[in-house]
Structure 1
């Protein structure tokens, strides 16, 4: 394996200790002997630390000495230890839920968006983005989107059922009688007008003259004014009778209206006409909505005001808290359901690495600190060796 830069300093300390020890051995001077003792101790300390550090990752000099290559041999235990710490401590369900609970994403998001709208540059970019998005959508596409969204709703609306409900509602609220009385009152007011009285009278006289020749000869004898007055009074009496709740004619007319209305509930022509109105009304509405959307997307002031109103509504309506609570509930459920996936993902990625890759990875990550262990071992050995050699010479 290529030697890493992090090991060079440690190797250099061993080289210095070895060179110093060999260089000072032939000399007998006391000072040189003290240095020799220091270099000897430095060499022993450096070699001992080199052996200890190397034994963590691999067999020293590739010799399978017992209790060496600790990390490769204990790969499974280390993996399980990492997963246990990950699942139960670092990223436990409780810690994740606590972190989720501390955050207020929706509120922060709304505040951030509001700040962007208060900033001229950001505001212009947002409005331009909305307009660009709107202009990129063809009119036919907008119509299709609206039509597709309304298709299910329109399909579920039964014209026959709606018409049946309308008729039932009319009868339940007696709107048929109220409408009938309203029309009779209006007709009565109309008939009481002098010019209408004259018009109706003359029309009836002309009708009699055209259809009944024998009666025509007697009309001048009676007098036109008397005939008009007679017809007018007859019409008013008929209207008064039709207004009377106990009148048989009134009951007959209302009964006829209700019978015909009930029949219309299943009348195919009526239902077909209602379906045509529904479809044509939907088509018209889609066109109008499409035109409205396109016009509003071209209005920068309208877009800005709409965004501001929407933000104000969201903040005042309490939607922020409601959405935040709902969002957090979803996250809680996801954590409960998929928390174990974190461990599985880490395990899968660890298992993808070979033992040599894991060893190399760990050695590189903590290589600087390990290097200093070896350097410190050599330096401490050197100092201790000097002290011991000095004491030995003194006592001799």
Structure 2
């Protein structure tokens, strides 16, 4: 297109020269001469205008030329502000998200087993990447220098009291009590000699041995019966007394300054400062890392299977449940709208920062190439329109007397 525009200029120049050299400029040749002359003027003027946008014409530092290289940063900032003010707004982004049907489209993509496998594999790779870069020394240092000191400085008794109260009120401790009572019953039933030995120690030496056995057997049966009652009856008075004691203990732990709370703080601090705590955390981390890595490696393992099943269920709901789609799309639209309202200027700054990072000459060339043929059509149009105007002016000079 540059060659075409320049060729038209050269053609007009050739016609202009030929008409002046070979004709008397009368009749039709006058129109041709004036048209070619005006065409050259229009072509050169538009060439200057187009070139002045991107560089100095002929390399001459003429004022108000090479506009884009000189103003590229301001242009980038203006474009960035225009995009932020007119496009990155909640009322423009949110409706677009709603119309896009993101939830349904994501569900349709996720419904494909191959896509599920890809997603699980990518998540596993990401987890493996993280695990590979967290070494044992870092975990140990974090525990020793950060976690333990923070826990020591923290008032733990009130937290422990609230936790204990929640556990008792929810009845979460009952299974533990059942387990302890069940184990106690089994142990007492399998070790009758323990009670018999206690009886022998507490009775005088002159008491016959057969009485020891009788008393021990009766005592064992009574103890076993009592333990069984405790295990089977969750409303047993002893259990109620235990619950009440635990609630009172929780209240005392929650009250600052009580002897129980202060003693608990001392005991917990001493426990946390034990070297074994650091080793226990490190051992737990090593076990957890080994478990996670094995789950990541085994693509046919239970973890991968369960995740794929979960994704399949989510995909089915996203594609068939209209209410779910509407809810998720509305939340996505609201979130996207809030994000662009809060960070629209930062998002749009990508434009200004990118343009600012361009070399001035490079930026000029990129913009010129992007606009492309339209720039050269300006030159072509200038040549054609110039020729037509020249013809019209010449006609007016012939028609109007004294012109």
Q: Secondary structure at the match of 2:387?
A: helix
Q: Secondary structure at the match of 1:72?
A: coil
In structure 1, the residue matched to 2:150 is: 156
In structure 2, the residue matched to 1:292 is: 291
Q: Secondary structure at the match of 1:93?
A: helix
Distance apart, 1:36 and its partner CA: 1.7
Change (3 A) 1:225 1:165: farther
In structure 2, the residue matched to 1:29 is: none
Distance apart, 1:299 and its partner CA: 2.4
Does the 8 A contact of 1:101 with 1:328 survive in 2?
A: yes
CA distances 1:336-384 after superposition (whole Å, capped 9, x unpaired): 56868967986x6899469x999x9999862332223213433564588
Aligned pair count reads 334
How does 1:1-396 map onto structure 2 within 5 Å?
6-25=5-24, 33-50=26-43, 52-53=45-46, 56=49, 71-72=64-65, 86=79, 90-91=82-83, 93-97=85-89, 98-104=91-97, 108=102, 111-112=105-106, 115=109, 118=112, 120=114, 122=115, 125-130=118-123, 141=134, 152-153=146-147, 155-158=149-152, 162=156, 199=196, 203-204=200-201, 208-209=204-205, 216=206, 265=264, 271-272=270-271, 275=274, 278-301=277-300, 302-303=303-304, 305-306=306-307, 309=310, 322=331, 325-336=334-345, 352=360, 366-378=375-387, 381=390
* Structure 1: distance between partners of 2:268 and 2:44: 100
Does the 8 A contact of 1:159 with 1:274 survive in 2?
A: no
CA distances 1:140-173 after superposition (whole Å, capped 9, x unpaired): 8465676677774555334996578758987997
Change (3 A) 1:171 1:110: closer
User: TM-score of the superposition, structure 2-length normalised?
Assistant: 0.52
Does the 8 A contact of 2:97 with 2:332 survive in 1?
A: no
* Structure 2: distance between partners of 1:340 and 1:160: 43
Does the 8 A contact of 1:116 with 1:123 survive in 2?
A: yes
Distance apart, 1:281 and its partner CA: 3.9
Distance apart, 1:329 and its partner CA: 2.4
User: TM-score of the superposition, structure 1-length normalised?
Assistant: 0.53
Change (3 A) 1:307 1:39: same
CA distances 1:30-69 after superposition (whole Å, capped 9, x unpaired): xxx53322323323432442464366467xx99x9xxxx7
Q: Secondary structure at the match of 1:292?
A: helix
Does the 8 A contact of 1:44 with 1:381 survive in 2?
A: yes
* Structure 2: distance between partners of 1:313 and 1:145: 37
* Structure 1: distance between partners of 2:3 and 2:41: 20
* Structure 2: distance between partners of 1:42 and 1:344: 48
In structure 1, the residue matched to 2:234 is: none
* Structure 2: distance between partners of 1:312 and 1:374: 67
Does the 8 A contact of 2:107 with 2:314 survive in 1?
A: no
* Structure 2: distance between partners of 1:327 and 1:377: 52
Change (3 A) 1:277 1:370: same
* Structure 1: distance between partners of 2:193 and 2:284: 43
Q: Secondary structure at the match of 1:366?
A: helix
* Structure 1: distance between partners of 2:195 and 2:65: 119
**Structure 1 residues without counterparts, runs of 5 or longer:** 27-32, 210-215, 246-257
* Structure 2: distance between partners of 1:12 and 1:125: 62
* Structure 1: distance between partners of 2:333 and 2:142: 28
Does the 8 A contact of 1:86 with 1:343 survive in 2?
A: yes
* Structure 2: distance between partners of 1:260 and 1:85: 68
Does the 8 A contact of 1:10 with 1:375 survive in 2?
A: no
Change (3 A) 1:319 1:74: closer
* Structure 1: distance between partners of 2:382 and 2:273: 91
Distance apart, 1:12 and its partner CA: 0.8
**Structure 2 residues without counterparts, runs of 5 or longer:** 172-176, 227-236, 239-251, 253-257, 319-323
* Structure 1: distance between partners of 2:350 and 2:277: 52
